[in-house]
Amino acid sequence: MLAIRRSIDPAMNHPSFFGNGELNGNHACETDEIDAVPLTAVQSPVDLERIRRAVREILEAVGEDPDREGLRETPDRVARMYAEVFEGMHQDPGLHLKKLFTQEYDEMVLVKDIRFVSFCEHHLLPVVGQVHVAYIPNGKVIGLSKIPRVIDVLAKRPQMQERLTVEVADLLMKELDAQGVAVVIEASHSCMTIRGVKKPNSTFVTSAMRGLFKERPPPAPR
């Protein structure tokens, strides 16, 4: 039911999974304008200074010199990075679902190929993939951009893909008062592509069906 478009996103220079199972590793780290801002000037609910100290300790623990030129500002950069990639911990995804529109429509609404980036809570390594969301309205519909916003908030925190799938489905089912919700997530996990078992061609797929989608699942493909 939820067709998967497998293509390379040329706009993103980030390791991603593609239909041929290959990973794009041709990316370079770049500094941006926020890296030039002193850490003490950054307003964040995250304890940036504590992260900075911890990163410096890690560098020393692996045998590096945190005071050499290439690493001197790395603890500050990593602190800012964690504040950015985990900002969903301090946001309420439900706020994006408060504005609904009355519409007599009782067929499936599908938003697919929603790209997301999260972090595996077991190794704090990136999880990159796509989310496909379908719902059957019950007299109310949601703005098209709101579902990707919800996914971004829930993904930007230490996550498990299974939990992310369920959280998206349950939140949409509750806030939209939908007749049914279906969520499918497929992703590549760095924790098993760059370390450990090292299987770069693997894709992890999870699903959560609610309401009519669970009561009357689509027929299996022949």
Tens of pLDDT, residues 108-119: 999 999 999 999
Task: Read off the pLDDT of each residue in 116-139 and give the average, rounded to a whole number.
Answer: 97
- Top mean pLDDT of 16-20, 31-35, 36-40, 171-175 is at 171-175
Give me the active site residues, please: 120-123, 161, 189, 191
Concatenate the DSSP letters of all residues of 138-189 into one string. Answer: SSEEE-TTHHHHHHHHHHSSEE-HHHHHHHHHHHHHHHHT-SEEEEEEEEEE
What does the pLDDT read at residue 25?
A: 42
On the question of pLDDT at 21 being above 60, the answer is no
Angle at the Cα of 71 from the Cα atoms of 23 and 60, rounded to 5 degrees: 100
Global pTM value: 0.79
What does the pLDDT read at residue 20?
A: 38
**CB count in 10 Å sphere of residue 184:** 20
Question: What are the two backbone dihedrals, phi and then psi, of residue 10, each rounded to the nearest 5 degrees?
Answer: -70, -15
